[in-house]
Amino acid sequence: MLRQITLIGVGLIGGSLVLDLKRHKQVQTVYGIDLDSENLNRALERHVIDRAFGEICAEAISSADWVVVATPVATLPSICAKLATWLPEHAIVSDVGSTKVSAIEAFRQHLPRHFARCVASHPIAGSDRSGALAAQFALYQNKKLILCPHEQQDSACLNTVAKLWQSVGAHTHIMPADEHDEIFAAVSHLPHLLAFAYVHQMLDHPKGAHYLDFAGSGFRDFTRIAASNPEMWADIMLANQSSMLDLIAAQQNQLAYLSGCLKSGNKAALRDYFQAAKQIREDWGDKQ
């Protein structure tokens, strides 16, 4: 059992992790650091954390066995820089961010002496909700957890982090950070970008607000993720910029093809296109 975890960013992802680690008796005490004092109060009330700090300081860090950073990805470099002063030698540092090349670069640059003990990880679970109130038990049960070891990785630290995630029900997978970022650009970041873009189309439409009064479950299902945390998603898109630009160009080709089919009234082409997509989506659903 770990004696102390310090969680930086007490929100949906980090809060859900520590709730389950406590429940499964993997940790004795959790210290939480967050910029939002109201959020820290809610986290204390809900027993997500045992002590709260408004900033990174010696008291919060110097006795930690595992420091988990669960803030928007662009904050990781400055957080690592602040951590460096107080991090005990034996501590492991992890992040949970949605982009992994950027995480490893932050560790390498700002925690050079501790780099081997920094483990980049990413749970493939979450929602459009944010903050300590959104933290929930069993979020990671039967969900994937990606670990991206780097070239100086301490394998014992990697194993420890893998075991901790497994203890909350996650299935761990290992892959290089660049492969991770390419995959999640396609299956996570692009869908979010398209959901935001589609909702914007309604926003920009002169009668969009009126139309939305009549939106049903198709709109609800397609746009749920457009209600996600804007700060977090702006960071993710920028950290995965070149993959996103490639994917936007590829999406424009798809839309151009559909335009062509519509202009020429080509029903067979449209039906075949929809059928192929339906098949892929159904096969994916069967495998979940």
- Chain residues in the site for ligand PRE (CB under 6 A): 98, 124, 126-128, 188, 225, 228
Give the helix ranges, DSSP H, for the chain. 12-23, 37-45, 58-61, 76-83, 101-110, 155-167, 177-184, 190-204, 208-212, 217-223, 230-239, 241-263, 267-287
For residues 33 and 55, the answer to whether their CB atoms sit within 8 Å is yes
For ligand PRE, the closer of residues 36 and 128 by Cβ is 128
With CB cut-offs between 5 and 8 Å by kind, which of ligand PRE, ligand NAD, none does residue 11 bind? ligand NAD
User: Which residue in the set 131, 144, 173, 258 belongs to the binding site for ligand NAD (CB under 6 A)?
Assistant: 131
For ligand NAD, the closer of residues 133 and 270 by Cβ is 133
User: Which residue in the set 30, 32, 97, 157 belongs to the binding site for ligand NAD (CB under 6 A)?
Assistant: 97
With CB cut-offs between 5 and 8 Å by kind, which of ligand NAD, ligand PRE, none does residue 225 bind? ligand PRE
Give min distance, CB of 35 to ligand NAD, in A: 5
Interface positions, 175-234, toward ligand NAD (CB under 6 A): 229, 232
For residues 17 and 168, the answer to whether their CB atoms sit within 8 Å is yes
DSSP string, 22-57: HHTT-EEEEEEE-S-HHHHHHHHHTTS-SEEESS--
- Chain positions contacting ligand NAD, by CB under 6 A: 8-14, 33-36, 39, 70-73, 75, 79, 96-98, 122-123, 126-127, 130-131, 134, 229, 232, 236
